[in-house]
Amino acid sequence: MSIADITSPEDLRALPDDQLPALVEDIRAELIATVAKQGGHLSSNLGVVELTVALHRVFDVRKDVIIFDTGHQSYVHKLLTGRLDAFRKLRQDDGCSGFPNRAESPFDYFGVGHSGTAVSAALGFAAARDRTGGNGKVVAVLGDGALGCGSSLEAINNLAVTTRDFILILNDNKMSISPNVGALSHCLSRVISGRSYNRFKVFCANAVQRIPMIGPRLRSWISRLDSAAKQLFLPTAFFEELGLRYIGPIDGHDLPQLTDTLHRVSQLHGPRLVHVLTVKGKGCRFAEKKPTCFHGTAPFNPQTGDLLQPKPKATFSATLGQTLCTLHQEDPRIVAITAGMPEGTGLHKFAKAFPNAFYDVGIAEAHAAAFAAGLAAAGQRPIMAVYASFSQRAADYVFHDACLQELPVIFCLDRAGVVADGPTHHGIQDVAFWRACPNLAVLQPADQDDLAAMLRLALTRHHPVVIRYPAGNAAPVTAQHRPLEWGKAEILEAGSAPVALWAVGRETAIALQAAELLRERGVAITVVNARFTIPFDAGLMRRLLNDGMTIVTLEDHCLEGGFGSIARDSLADIPDARIVKLGWPRAVLPNGPVVSLRQRFSLTPTSIAETIRGLLTRSPAPLHDGFSLAATPLYSLTSSRTP
């Protein structure tokens, strides 16, 4: 039996039981082959093959709602709902998203990319069903550390008082991106290792069977005895007290047992939790051995697991970890905080070297920000590292706890900019949030040397600082930077043409490539490494404008609210200011390779060079808002197309 034979959920439910093992193996082979070619989330999906098959065998997704949290464990669900061809183009322009997507399939009931949202969303579906008199089942599959997320706990706290019927599947693989941390994780470990309980349960059952005459009558008490034993030996009372009937733990790779358990659970009523034990990376030798490495991976050799393209020697994540190790030795007050991703943010080496100065708080970005503010108020120097798209979940805490009190917390935002994972993970909105926060600075390094210098400089300040940078290559863009001064940009190349290209962060490398293309055509432009977004070097930009130059800003961020907007707002007193903004439109950008997205939105070095050539060959005319540019709508400089 092949996954190619499953074109709809009905095909799976009609399949004889004896053909399921072959299907499971074929699904795993498909996962490995596709992710090896396209990149994506491998370990989490290998771990839920049997669980997802069992869910689709028991529940009818044409009327029953299944919502996956976190969404990167939904690949098998996509395959079982007739999306094989699209899945083989995973994360490509015309292929499947790496996460549930309502626009992609009617069986993706809710889009989920960030952890901790599925229980709340599923509870909304359950409440709507109750209000309209429906009878479909609602299932939330909670996994990869999402139980410890504050929003998950808030939703679970409201389950019993909101709905009469709800099924929560806890996919317990002891991992989020990195190994789970915190009291809830230890609680679940005690459940799993409750050998005393299991021995006691078996002993009681055997004893009852041996009692003559009254044995059958005593069997009716076994369920009560089972419940009492759980209360004695296992910490499942946490769920029971919240109104959830606890069932488990269940072997998540025993398909017959899973199917039977879910079928029985589907016949029950009331909120219930099924605790399923899975192995992240199951069935793939190298993914099981290194589940964190293959949580989210670039293309690799499916036989060996070796990456097809080696990682850059210098990355921003690695630079952060290395620099913090040096800085902590100089100042022991420096502590590092992350939200469930020490490897992804480059802090794993710091954690190993200085375990007493490292805190992984799990998937709890808001708590991490307030925790960091508390550390700062107590005289420590906290540095919180998180992905830019996830930092948005902590925006209120950054404002309320760090900015209002002017506490010196450094927020390092990795993966800032467009990424292959799509709209839930593009880190292109956060500057618009930060620019409204008082007492907050935003810095963006062009390379590893810039980042190291910015970390040192930020530690001399007495207010919160955001340092944001993209994933990947952080190789030097210049042989030697000018010394970093607070609020000052640096001119990397001074040209004779009346255009200055102000690049923000790693876009500096793109700007230098565009400048080289122009130089080959006899046009020498000025290239500026902005370095600071808030505050930015308004003095230098004003001087260049007064010299008759047109300013072109280039950023890996949404145009509205980003660096270009800040520059235009700051220099609005200059009537004939010529500032052209290049960046991403205010739109839901799709998933796809970053190179492809840049081509689509005219943000490659070639297209940027062509835009600048166009500016130089026409006479700028003032726009209605006081800025100068030929009468072309601003967005046409990025793209006239929308996703």
Say which residues have a Cβ less than 8 Å from residue 207's Cβ, sequence separation at least 6.
none
Give just the sign of the alpha carbon dihedral 136, 137, 141, 147. positive
Write down the catalytic residue from 129, 280, 282, 415.
280
Catalytic residue among 30, 50, 365, 493: 365
* DSSP structural state of residue 482: P
Helices (H), 331-364: 348-353
**Residue 285 is among the residues annotated as catalytic for this protein:** no
Distance separating alpha carbons of residues 81 and 244, to the nearest angstrom:
29
Give the span between the Cα atoms of 465 and 534, in whole angstroms: 9
Q: In Å, what is the CA distance from 218 to each residue of 211, 223, 233?
A: 9, 10, 22
Radius of gyration of the chain (CA): 27
CA distances from 338 to 5, 185, 332, 345, 465 (A): 43, 17, 18, 8, 16
- 349 catalytically annotated: no
Residue 335 and residue 375 in contact, taking contact as beta carbons nearer than 8 Å = yes
The C-alpha angle with vertex 450 and arms to 177 and 376, in degrees rounded to 5, equals: 60
Alpha helices in 109-221 (DSSP H): 118-132, 150-162, 183-192, 195-210, 215-219
Closest CA to 499 of 535, 525, 528, 521: 525
Name residue 588's amino acid. V
Which one of 272, 282, 381, 393 is the catalytic residue? Answer: 393
> Which residues neighbour 323 within 8 Å (Cβ) at sequence distance 6 or greater?
451, 452, 455, 456
Q: Which two tokens stand for residue 319?
A: 């630079």
Active-site annotation holds for 365: yes
**CA–CA dist 404, 224 (Å, integer):** 54
Q: What CA–CA distance (Å, rounded) separates 67 from 169?
A: 10
Based on the number of CB atoms within 10 Å of its own CB, is 7 exposed (0-12), middle (13-18) or buried (19 or more)? middle
Task: Report yes or no: 165 and 126 within 8 Å, Cβ to Cβ.
Answer: yes
Please list the active-site residues: 280, 365, 393
